[in-house]
A and B are shown apart, each in its own frame.
Chain A
Protein backbone atom coordinates (compact mmCIF):
# COMPACT_ATOMS: atom_id res chain seq x y z
CA UNK A 1 0.00 0.00 0.00
CA UNK A 2 3.04 2.24 -0.24
CA UNK A 3 1.65 3.73 -3.45
CA UNK A 4 -1.63 4.61 -1.79
CA UNK A 5 0.16 6.24 1.10
CA UNK A 6 2.25 8.25 -1.31
CA UNK A 7 -0.98 9.40 -2.91
CA UNK A 8 -2.65 10.58 0.26
CA UNK A 9 0.34 12.19 1.92
CA UNK A 10 2.32 15.18 0.82
CA UNK A 11 5.25 17.21 2.08
CA UNK A 12 4.45 20.87 2.38
CA UNK A 13 6.91 23.70 2.76
CA UNK A 14 5.51 26.72 4.59
CA UNK A 15 6.95 29.93 5.96
CA UNK A 16 5.15 30.35 9.27
CA UNK A 17 5.73 33.54 11.26
CA UNK A 18 9.10 33.96 9.60
CA UNK A 19 10.31 30.39 10.10
CA UNK A 20 10.62 27.92 7.22
CA UNK A 21 8.81 24.70 8.08
CA UNK A 22 8.61 21.45 6.12
CA UNK A 23 5.96 18.98 7.20
CA UNK A 24 4.50 15.78 5.74
CA UNK A 25 0.74 15.76 6.11
CA UNK A 26 -2.17 13.52 5.30
CA UNK A 27 -3.92 15.34 2.43
CA UNK A 28 -7.02 15.64 4.64
CA UNK A 29 -5.23 18.01 7.02
CA UNK A 30 -6.62 21.53 6.96
CA UNK A 31 -4.25 24.46 7.06
CA UNK A 32 -5.57 25.20 10.56
CA UNK A 33 -4.91 21.68 11.84
CA UNK A 34 -1.49 21.69 10.19
CA UNK A 35 -0.56 24.88 12.00
CA UNK A 36 -1.89 23.82 15.38
CA UNK A 37 -1.46 20.05 15.54
CA UNK A 38 1.58 19.52 13.36
CA UNK A 39 3.57 22.72 13.76
CA UNK A 40 2.55 23.75 17.28
CA UNK A 41 1.42 27.21 16.21
CA UNK A 42 -1.52 27.80 18.51
CA UNK A 43 -2.54 31.40 17.95
CA UNK A 44 -5.04 30.56 15.17
CA UNK A 45 -8.00 29.16 17.09
CA UNK A 46 -10.38 26.39 16.11
CA UNK A 47 -13.92 27.32 16.99
CA UNK A 48 -16.65 26.45 14.46
CA UNK A 49 -14.28 24.72 11.98
CA UNK A 50 -16.82 25.50 9.23
CA UNK A 51 -15.88 29.00 8.09
CA UNK A 52 -18.57 30.73 10.08
CA UNK A 53 -16.71 32.44 12.95
CA UNK A 54 -13.33 33.79 11.76
CA UNK A 55 -11.34 32.69 14.82
CA UNK A 56 -8.89 30.78 12.60
CA UNK A 57 -8.09 33.85 10.45
CA UNK A 58 -4.45 34.06 9.35
CA UNK A 59 -2.60 36.08 6.72
CA UNK A 60 -1.48 34.05 3.70
CA UNK A 61 0.83 35.94 1.37
CA UNK A 62 -0.50 39.08 3.06
CA UNK A 63 -4.20 38.36 2.67
CA UNK A 64 -6.57 37.38 5.45
CA UNK A 65 -8.21 34.00 5.00
CA UNK A 66 -9.88 31.50 7.24
CA UNK A 67 -7.57 28.52 7.65
CA UNK A 68 -10.20 25.87 8.49
CA UNK A 69 -11.66 25.49 4.97
CA UNK A 70 -8.40 24.93 3.13
CA UNK A 71 -6.23 21.85 2.85
CA UNK A 72 -2.60 22.41 3.84
CA UNK A 73 -1.36 20.71 0.65
CA UNK A 74 -2.82 23.58 -1.35
CA UNK A 75 -0.45 26.03 0.38
CA UNK A 76 2.92 24.52 -0.46
CA UNK A 77 5.31 27.46 -0.78
CA UNK A 78 3.04 29.98 0.95
CA UNK A 79 4.01 32.58 3.54
CA UNK A 80 1.76 32.50 6.58
CA UNK A 81 1.60 35.05 9.36
CA UNK A 82 -0.46 34.39 12.46
CA UNK A 83 -1.26 36.79 15.29
CA UNK A 84 1.80 35.41 17.06
CA UNK A 85 4.03 36.40 14.14
CA UNK A 86 2.64 39.94 14.00
CA UNK A 87 4.46 40.66 17.25
CA UNK A 88 7.93 41.25 15.91
CA UNK A 89 10.14 42.40 18.76
CA UNK A 90 7.14 44.10 20.35
CA UNK A 91 3.40 44.07 19.98
CA UNK A 92 1.92 45.07 16.63
CA UNK A 93 0.02 48.40 16.75
CA UNK A 94 -3.25 46.50 16.28
CA UNK A 95 -2.41 44.27 19.25
CA UNK A 96 -1.52 47.36 21.34
CA UNK A 97 -4.83 48.96 20.37
CA UNK A 98 -6.81 45.86 21.42
CA UNK A 99 -5.20 46.10 24.86
CA UNK A 100 -5.69 49.88 25.08
CA UNK A 101 -9.37 49.63 24.15
CA UNK A 102 -10.03 46.49 26.22
CA UNK A 103 -11.27 44.89 22.99
CA UNK A 104 -11.77 41.38 24.33
CA UNK A 105 -13.10 39.47 27.28
CA UNK A 106 -12.25 35.76 27.03
CA UNK A 107 -9.75 36.43 24.24
CA UNK A 108 -10.47 33.31 22.21
CA UNK A 109 -11.46 35.16 19.04
CA UNK A 110 -8.78 37.83 19.48
CA UNK A 111 -5.91 36.37 17.39
CA UNK A 112 -8.33 35.96 14.48
CA UNK A 113 -9.72 39.46 15.04
CA UNK A 114 -6.22 40.94 15.08
CA UNK A 115 -5.15 39.19 11.86
CA UNK A 116 -8.42 40.23 10.27
CA UNK A 117 -7.91 43.90 11.19
CA UNK A 118 -4.40 43.86 9.69
CA UNK A 119 -5.75 42.33 6.47
CA UNK A 120 -8.72 44.67 6.44
CA UNK A 121 -6.56 47.79 6.71
CA UNK A 122 -4.43 46.61 3.78
CA UNK A 123 -7.55 45.90 1.70
CA UNK A 124 -8.90 49.39 2.41
CA UNK A 125 -5.53 50.96 1.53
CA UNK A 126 -5.57 48.95 -1.69
CA UNK A 127 -8.90 50.48 -2.64
CA UNK A 128 -11.06 47.43 -2.07
CA UNK A 129 -14.70 48.43 -1.55
CA UNK A 130 -17.13 46.75 0.82
CA UNK A 131 -20.88 46.27 0.84
CA UNK A 132 -21.07 49.42 2.98
CA UNK A 133 -19.34 51.46 0.26
CA UNK A 134 -22.04 53.63 -1.29
CA UNK A 135 -20.35 54.51 -4.59
CA UNK A 136 -18.57 51.57 -6.19
CA UNK A 137 -17.27 53.70 -9.07
CA UNK A 138 -13.51 53.03 -9.09
CA UNK A 139 -12.87 56.66 -10.02
CA UNK A 140 -14.73 58.00 -6.99
CA UNK A 141 -12.48 59.24 -4.21
CA UNK A 142 -11.85 56.62 -1.58
CA UNK A 143 -14.31 56.87 1.29
CA UNK A 144 -12.92 57.01 4.81
CA UNK A 145 -13.31 53.97 7.03
CA UNK A 146 -16.57 54.94 8.70
CA UNK A 147 -17.88 52.89 11.60
CA UNK A 148 -20.30 51.20 9.18
CA UNK A 149 -17.42 50.33 6.86
CA UNK A 150 -15.41 48.85 9.72
CA UNK A 151 -18.37 46.82 11.02
CA UNK A 152 -19.10 45.46 7.55
CA UNK A 153 -15.46 44.68 6.83
CA UNK A 154 -15.12 42.88 10.17
CA UNK A 155 -18.39 40.94 9.99
CA UNK A 156 -16.51 37.70 9.35
CA UNK A 157 -15.14 37.68 12.91
CA UNK A 158 -17.60 36.77 15.61
CA UNK A 159 -17.05 37.58 19.28
CA UNK A 160 -19.38 35.68 21.59
CA UNK A 161 -18.39 37.92 24.51
CA UNK A 162 -19.74 40.72 22.28
CA UNK A 163 -16.74 43.00 22.71
CA UNK A 164 -17.72 44.63 19.43
CA UNK A 165 -17.88 48.26 20.65
CA UNK A 166 -14.36 48.02 22.03
CA UNK A 167 -13.08 46.18 18.95
CA UNK A 168 -14.44 49.05 16.89
CA UNK A 169 -12.70 51.51 19.24
CA UNK A 170 -9.42 49.61 18.90
CA UNK A 171 -9.62 49.72 15.12
CA UNK A 172 -10.50 53.42 15.25
CA UNK A 173 -7.36 54.00 17.32
CA UNK A 174 -5.27 52.36 14.58
CA UNK A 175 -6.88 53.89 11.49
CA UNK A 176 -7.60 57.32 13.01
CA UNK A 177 -10.57 59.48 12.11
Chain B
Protein backbone atom coordinates (compact mmCIF):
# COMPACT_ATOMS: atom_id res chain seq x y z
CA UNK B 1 0.00 0.00 0.00
CA UNK B 2 1.18 3.48 -0.83
CA UNK B 3 2.10 5.57 2.25
CA UNK B 4 -0.50 8.22 2.96
CA UNK B 5 -0.85 11.27 5.14
CA UNK B 6 -3.74 11.19 7.58
CA UNK B 7 -5.66 14.09 9.00
CA UNK B 8 -8.67 14.10 11.29
CA UNK B 9 -11.02 16.82 10.05
CA UNK B 10 -12.45 19.26 12.59
CA UNK B 11 -15.14 20.70 10.31
CA UNK B 12 -16.58 20.10 6.85
CA UNK B 13 -15.05 23.20 5.27
CA UNK B 14 -11.67 22.06 6.57
CA UNK B 15 -12.15 18.62 5.02
CA UNK B 16 -13.03 20.18 1.67
CA UNK B 17 -10.01 22.49 1.89
CA UNK B 18 -7.78 19.51 2.69
CA UNK B 19 -9.08 17.72 -0.41
CA UNK B 20 -8.45 20.83 -2.51
CA UNK B 21 -4.91 21.15 -1.15
CA UNK B 22 -4.02 17.48 -1.63
CA UNK B 23 -4.72 16.28 -5.17
CA UNK B 24 -5.80 12.65 -5.12
CA UNK B 25 -6.75 12.76 -1.45
CA UNK B 26 -9.94 11.06 -0.33
CA UNK B 27 -12.34 11.47 2.56
CA UNK B 28 -12.70 8.40 4.79
CA UNK B 29 -15.36 7.55 7.37
CA UNK B 30 -16.36 3.88 7.76
CA UNK B 31 -13.58 2.79 5.43
CA UNK B 32 -15.10 -0.60 4.67
CA UNK B 33 -14.76 -0.19 0.90
CA UNK B 34 -11.89 2.30 0.61
CA UNK B 35 -9.52 0.44 2.94
CA UNK B 36 -10.16 -2.73 0.98
CA UNK B 37 -9.42 -0.93 -2.29
CA UNK B 38 -6.18 0.43 -0.85
CA UNK B 39 -5.13 -3.10 0.13
CA UNK B 40 -6.03 -4.42 -3.29
CA UNK B 41 -4.28 -1.61 -5.14
CA UNK B 42 -7.54 -0.42 -6.69
CA UNK B 43 -7.11 2.94 -4.93
CA UNK B 44 -3.88 4.62 -3.81
CA UNK B 45 -4.70 8.04 -2.36
CA UNK B 46 -1.65 9.97 -1.10
CA UNK B 47 -3.69 11.42 1.75
CA UNK B 48 -6.88 10.72 3.70
CA UNK B 49 -9.03 13.15 5.61
CA UNK B 50 -11.08 11.42 8.31
CA UNK B 51 -14.60 12.86 8.51
CA UNK B 52 -15.97 10.18 10.84
CA UNK B 53 -15.57 12.36 13.93
CA UNK B 54 -17.51 15.31 12.51
CA UNK B 55 -20.98 16.17 13.74
CA UNK B 56 -22.62 14.69 10.64
CA UNK B 57 -24.17 11.62 12.21
CA UNK B 58 -27.60 12.85 13.23
CA UNK B 59 -30.94 11.62 11.93
CA UNK B 60 -33.76 14.12 12.26
CA UNK B 61 -37.17 15.06 10.93
CA UNK B 62 -37.66 18.37 9.13
CA UNK B 63 -40.84 20.44 9.65
CA UNK B 64 -42.19 19.21 6.28
CA UNK B 65 -41.94 15.58 7.37
CA UNK B 66 -38.84 14.80 5.34
CA UNK B 67 -35.93 13.07 7.04
CA UNK B 68 -32.36 14.24 7.11
CA UNK B 69 -29.88 11.39 7.38
CA UNK B 70 -26.42 12.52 8.40
CA UNK B 71 -23.70 11.34 6.04
CA UNK B 72 -21.60 9.74 8.76
CA UNK B 73 -24.47 8.08 10.63
CA UNK B 74 -23.69 4.39 10.54
CA UNK B 75 -25.89 2.16 8.41
CA UNK B 76 -26.82 0.10 11.50
CA UNK B 77 -28.00 3.16 13.41
CA UNK B 78 -29.89 4.50 10.41
CA UNK B 79 -31.73 1.20 9.92
CA UNK B 80 -32.58 1.02 13.64
CA UNK B 81 -33.75 4.63 13.94
CA UNK B 82 -37.45 4.95 14.83
CA UNK B 83 -38.02 7.74 12.29
CA UNK B 84 -36.58 5.69 9.46
CA UNK B 85 -38.50 2.56 10.46
CA UNK B 86 -41.78 4.44 10.91
CA UNK B 87 -41.65 6.58 7.77
CA UNK B 88 -39.64 4.45 5.36
CA UNK B 89 -39.57 0.77 6.31
CA UNK B 90 -38.39 0.13 2.75
CA UNK B 91 -35.21 2.05 3.49
CA UNK B 92 -34.64 0.28 6.79
CA UNK B 93 -35.09 -3.09 5.11
CA UNK B 94 -32.74 -2.17 2.28
CA UNK B 95 -30.06 -1.20 4.79
CA UNK B 96 -30.58 -4.38 6.80
CA UNK B 97 -30.22 -6.50 3.67
CA UNK B 98 -26.74 -5.14 2.97
CA UNK B 99 -23.41 -6.49 4.21
CA UNK B 100 -23.15 -7.93 7.76
CA UNK B 101 -23.89 -6.41 11.18
CA UNK B 102 -20.19 -5.77 11.87
CA UNK B 103 -19.89 -3.94 8.55
CA UNK B 104 -23.12 -1.98 9.05
CA UNK B 105 -21.77 -0.82 12.42
CA UNK B 106 -18.90 0.81 10.51
CA UNK B 107 -20.33 1.74 7.12
CA UNK B 108 -21.75 5.25 6.85
CA UNK B 109 -24.63 6.57 4.79
CA UNK B 110 -22.43 8.74 2.58
CA UNK B 111 -19.96 5.92 2.07
CA UNK B 112 -22.76 3.51 1.22
CA UNK B 113 -23.77 5.75 -1.68
CA UNK B 114 -20.19 6.06 -2.90
CA UNK B 115 -19.13 2.42 -2.57
CA UNK B 116 -17.86 1.02 -5.85
CA UNK B 117 -18.84 -1.98 -7.91
CA UNK B 118 -17.93 -5.45 -6.68
CA UNK B 119 -17.18 -6.57 -10.27
CA UNK B 120 -14.41 -9.13 -9.67
CA UNK B 121 -12.39 -7.75 -12.57
CA UNK B 122 -12.54 -4.21 -11.21
CA UNK B 123 -11.18 -5.50 -7.90
CA UNK B 124 -8.44 -7.62 -9.49
CA UNK B 125 -5.62 -5.33 -10.60
CA UNK B 126 -4.06 -8.09 -12.73
CA UNK B 127 -6.96 -7.90 -15.22
CA UNK B 128 -7.86 -5.12 -17.67
CA UNK B 129 -10.74 -2.90 -16.52
CA UNK B 130 -11.98 0.35 -18.06
CA UNK B 131 -13.42 1.49 -14.75
CA UNK B 132 -10.15 1.05 -12.88
CA UNK B 133 -7.81 1.91 -15.74
CA UNK B 134 -9.55 3.67 -18.64
CA UNK B 135 -8.78 2.30 -22.07
CA UNK B 136 -7.51 -1.11 -20.98
CA UNK B 137 -10.68 -3.01 -21.91
CA UNK B 138 -13.45 -4.87 -20.09
CA UNK B 139 -12.58 -8.32 -18.74
CA UNK B 140 -16.18 -9.05 -17.79
CA UNK B 141 -17.23 -9.22 -21.44
CA UNK B 142 -16.62 -12.87 -22.27
CA UNK B 143 -15.94 -13.57 -18.58
CA UNK B 144 -18.10 -14.27 -15.56
CA UNK B 145 -21.14 -12.01 -15.78
CA UNK B 146 -23.56 -13.47 -13.23
CA UNK B 147 -23.43 -10.27 -11.16
CA UNK B 148 -23.39 -7.86 -14.10
CA UNK B 149 -25.75 -5.38 -15.74
CA UNK B 150 -28.67 -5.98 -18.08
CA UNK B 151 -29.78 -2.35 -18.34
CA UNK B 152 -27.92 0.81 -19.34
CA UNK B 153 -24.50 -0.81 -19.80
CA UNK B 154 -21.99 0.20 -22.47
CA UNK B 155 -19.39 -1.59 -24.58
CA UNK B 156 -16.82 -0.32 -22.08
CA UNK B 157 -18.41 -1.43 -18.82
CA UNK B 158 -21.12 -3.80 -17.63
CA UNK B 159 -20.59 -3.35 -13.88
CA UNK B 160 -23.46 -2.99 -11.43
CA UNK B 161 -23.84 -0.63 -8.50
CA UNK B 162 -23.69 -2.68 -5.29
CA UNK B 163 -25.69 -0.53 -2.86
CA UNK B 164 -29.08 -1.61 -1.51
CA UNK B 165 -29.60 1.68 0.29
CA UNK B 166 -29.23 3.70 -2.91
CA UNK B 167 -31.95 1.64 -4.61
CA UNK B 168 -34.44 2.45 -1.86
CA UNK B 169 -33.39 6.12 -1.93
CA UNK B 170 -33.81 6.25 -5.72
CA UNK B 171 -37.40 5.03 -5.34
CA UNK B 172 -38.02 7.57 -2.57
CA UNK B 173 -36.80 10.57 -4.63
CA UNK B 174 -34.09 11.31 -2.07
CA UNK B 175 -31.68 14.20 -2.44
CA UNK B 176 -28.03 14.38 -1.53
CA UNK B 177 -26.56 17.39 0.28
CA UNK B 178 -23.00 17.99 -0.91
CA UNK B 179 -20.40 20.37 0.44
CA UNK B 180 -17.82 21.46 -2.13
CA UNK B 181 -15.40 24.29 -2.72
CA UNK B 182 -18.33 26.64 -3.45
CA UNK B 183 -20.23 25.67 -0.32
CA UNK B 184 -23.32 23.51 -0.02
CA UNK B 185 -25.61 22.30 -2.81
CA UNK B 186 -28.32 19.70 -3.27
CA UNK B 187 -28.83 17.23 -6.05
CA UNK B 188 -31.30 14.47 -6.73
CA UNK B 189 -29.85 11.12 -5.76
CA UNK B 190 -30.70 9.84 -9.21
CA UNK B 191 -28.62 12.64 -10.74
CA UNK B 192 -25.68 11.72 -8.49
CA UNK B 193 -25.01 8.57 -10.49
CA UNK B 194 -24.04 8.29 -14.13
CA UNK B 195 -24.29 5.47 -16.65
CA UNK B 196 -20.91 4.10 -17.76
CA UNK B 197 -20.89 5.25 -21.38
CA UNK B 198 -17.31 5.81 -22.52
CA UNK B 199 -16.18 6.93 -19.04
CA UNK B 200 -16.96 4.12 -16.61
CA UNK B 201 -14.13 5.35 -14.36
CA UNK B 202 -16.56 7.98 -13.11
CA UNK B 203 -19.33 6.51 -10.97
CA UNK B 204 -20.87 9.83 -9.98
CA UNK B 205 -20.98 13.49 -10.98
CA UNK B 206 -19.18 14.56 -7.79
CA UNK B 207 -15.91 16.48 -7.90
CA UNK B 208 -12.88 15.13 -5.98
CA UNK B 209 -13.31 17.99 -3.48
CA UNK B 210 -16.98 17.21 -2.76
CA UNK B 211 -18.06 15.72 0.56
CA UNK B 212 -21.57 14.32 1.05
CA UNK B 213 -22.88 15.77 4.32
CA UNK B 214 -26.46 14.46 4.38
CA UNK B 215 -29.24 12.67 2.55
CA UNK B 216 -32.76 14.11 2.53
CA UNK B 217 -35.73 11.77 2.14
CA UNK B 218 -39.13 13.30 1.33
CA UNK B 219 -42.07 12.52 3.62
CA UNK B 220 -43.88 9.24 2.95
CA UNK B 221 -46.94 9.53 0.75
CA UNK B 222 -50.22 9.11 2.61
CA UNK B 223 -51.80 5.67 2.26
CA UNK B 224 -48.76 4.12 0.63
CA UNK B 225 -47.10 0.80 1.38
CA UNK B 226 -43.45 0.16 0.64
CA UNK B 227 -40.88 -2.59 0.81
CA UNK B 228 -37.49 -3.70 -0.47
CA UNK B 229 -36.94 -7.23 -1.71
CA UNK B 230 -33.49 -8.56 -2.48
CA UNK B 231 -32.72 -11.81 -4.30
CA UNK B 232 -29.24 -13.21 -3.85
CA UNK B 233 -27.16 -16.37 -4.02
CA UNK B 234 -27.09 -16.74 -0.22
CA UNK B 235 -29.84 -16.01 2.30
CA UNK B 236 -27.70 -13.34 3.93
CA UNK B 237 -24.48 -11.37 3.50
CA UNK B 238 -24.37 -11.30 -0.30
CA UNK B 239 -24.86 -8.69 -3.00
CA UNK B 240 -28.10 -8.56 -4.95
CA UNK B 241 -28.61 -10.53 -8.14
CA UNK B 242 -31.71 -8.39 -8.49
CA UNK B 243 -33.60 -6.25 -6.02
CA UNK B 244 -36.79 -4.22 -6.10
CA UNK B 245 -37.67 -1.17 -4.00
CA UNK B 246 -41.27 -0.11 -4.39
CA UNK B 247 -43.79 2.22 -2.81
CA UNK B 248 -47.40 1.83 -3.95
CA UNK B 249 -50.57 3.71 -3.09
CA UNK B 250 -54.08 2.73 -4.20
CA UNK B 251 -57.39 4.56 -4.42
CA UNK B 252 -59.56 2.87 -1.80
CA UNK B 253 -57.89 -0.40 -2.58
CA UNK B 254 -58.97 -0.18 -6.22
CA UNK B 255 -56.73 1.34 -8.88
CA UNK B 256 -53.06 2.06 -8.27
CA UNK B 257 -52.83 5.80 -7.62
CA UNK B 258 -49.08 5.98 -7.71
CA UNK B 259 -46.04 3.73 -7.75
CA UNK B 260 -42.38 4.50 -7.28
CA UNK B 261 -40.07 1.65 -8.21
CA UNK B 262 -36.32 1.16 -8.43
CA UNK B 263 -34.23 -1.90 -9.30
CA UNK B 264 -30.87 -2.94 -7.90
CA UNK B 265 -28.27 -5.38 -9.19
CA UNK B 266 -29.09 -4.74 -12.83
CA UNK B 267 -27.32 -1.51 -13.83
CA UNK B 268 -24.39 0.83 -13.24
CA UNK B 269 -26.75 2.94 -11.13
CA UNK B 270 -29.77 2.28 -8.97
CA UNK B 271 -32.34 1.92 -11.77
CA UNK B 272 -35.53 3.93 -11.46
CA UNK B 273 -38.27 2.06 -13.33
CA UNK B 274 -40.29 4.98 -14.68
CA UNK B 275 -41.71 3.03 -17.59
CA UNK B 276 -43.07 0.39 -15.24
CA UNK B 277 -44.51 3.09 -12.99
CA UNK B 278 -46.34 4.66 -15.95
CA UNK B 279 -47.92 1.33 -16.87
CA UNK B 280 -49.15 0.79 -13.32
CA UNK B 281 -50.50 4.27 -12.61
CA UNK B 282 -54.30 4.49 -12.73
CA UNK B 283 -54.85 0.79 -13.37
CA UNK B 284 -56.29 -2.01 -11.26
CA UNK B 285 -53.66 -4.40 -9.93
CA UNK B 286 -53.51 -7.77 -11.68
CA UNK B 287 -50.89 -10.32 -12.67
CA UNK B 288 -51.28 -9.15 -16.28
CA UNK B 289 -50.69 -5.53 -15.30
CA UNK B 290 -47.57 -6.41 -13.29
CA UNK B 291 -46.21 -8.40 -16.25
CA UNK B 292 -46.90 -5.48 -18.58
CA UNK B 293 -45.04 -3.15 -16.22
CA UNK B 294 -42.03 -5.46 -16.22
CA UNK B 295 -42.21 -5.80 -20.03
CA UNK B 296 -42.17 -2.03 -20.45
CA UNK B 297 -39.11 -1.59 -18.24
CA UNK B 298 -37.18 -4.55 -19.58
CA UNK B 299 -37.85 -3.92 -23.28
CA UNK B 300 -34.32 -2.56 -23.70
CA UNK B 301 -32.61 -5.12 -21.47
CA UNK B 302 -29.44 -6.60 -22.96
CA UNK B 303 -28.42 -9.73 -21.09
CA UNK B 304 -24.87 -11.05 -21.23
CA UNK B 305 -23.79 -14.69 -21.52
CA UNK B 306 -24.02 -15.32 -17.80
CA UNK B 307 -26.95 -13.24 -16.61
CA UNK B 308 -29.98 -13.76 -18.87
CA UNK B 309 -31.63 -15.31 -15.80
CA UNK B 310 -31.96 -11.83 -14.34
CA UNK B 311 -34.78 -10.95 -16.73
CA UNK B 312 -37.28 -13.60 -15.57
CA UNK B 313 -35.99 -13.25 -11.99
CA UNK B 314 -36.63 -9.52 -11.98
CA UNK B 315 -40.05 -9.99 -13.60
CA UNK B 316 -41.08 -12.42 -10.86
CA UNK B 317 -39.59 -10.33 -8.07
CA UNK B 318 -41.37 -7.19 -9.28
CA UNK B 319 -44.68 -9.05 -9.58
CA UNK B 320 -44.42 -10.52 -6.08
CA UNK B 321 -43.52 -7.15 -4.54
CA UNK B 322 -46.40 -5.38 -6.31
CA UNK B 323 -48.88 -8.11 -5.37
CA UNK B 324 -47.88 -7.86 -1.69
CA UNK B 325 -47.90 -4.06 -1.63
CA UNK B 326 -51.30 -3.77 -3.35
CA UNK B 327 -52.75 -6.14 -0.77
CA UNK B 328 -51.18 -4.13 2.06
CA UNK B 329 -52.29 -0.82 0.60
CA UNK B 330 -55.88 -2.13 0.56
CA UNK B 331 -55.83 -2.44 4.32
CA UNK B 332 -56.97 0.73 6.08
CA UNK B 333 -53.98 2.29 7.79
Contact = CB atoms under 8 A, between A and B. Distances in A.
Q: Which size class do B's interface residues fall under?
A: 35 or more
A109 B97 CA distance: 23
A120 B96 CA distance: 14
B187 to A, nearest CB: 28
A152 interface: yes
Nearest to A130: B96
Among B4, B6, B100, B236, the most chain A Cβ lie within 10 Å of the Cβ of: B100
Given A70-B106, A136-B85, A151-B236, A156 B101 contact: yes
Interface string B1-14: 10111101000000
Contact of B82 (A130, A138, A156): A138
B303 to A, nearest CB: 28
Among B31, B38, B48, the most chain A Cβ lie within 10 Å of the Cβ of: B31
A43 interface: no
A57 B101 CA distance: 11
B31 A69 contact: yes
Given A50-B39, A131-B236, A137-B86, A70 B101 contact: no
Among A76, A116, A139, A152, the most chain B Cβ lie within 10 Å of the Cβ of: A152
Contact of B93 (A66, A127, A128, A136): A136
A69 B86 contact: no
Contacts of B40: 50
Q: Which size class do A's interface residues fall under?
A: 35 or more
Among A26, A49, A65, the most chain B Cβ lie within 10 Å of the Cβ of: A65
A164 interface: no
Nearest to A66: B102
B56 interface: no
Contact of B35 (A30, A128, A131, A139): A30
A39 interface: no
A28 B35 CA distance: 9
Given A127-B80, A136-B89, A74 B101 contact: no
B32 interface: yes
A51 B33 CA distance: 9
A66 B80 contact: no
A64 B102 contact: yes
Interface of B: 1, 3-6, 8, 28, 31-32, 35-36, 38-40, 48, 50, 52, 76, 79-80, 82, 85-86, 89, 92-93, 96-97, 99-103, 105-106, 235-237
Given A26-B3, A51-B103, A66-B102, 8 more contacts: A70-B35, A71-B31, A119-B101, A128-B76, A129-B80, A136-B85, A155-B236, A157-B100
Nearest 7 CB-CB pairings of A with B = A156-B100, A155-B236, A138-B82, A7-B5, A131-B96, A128-B80, A155-B237
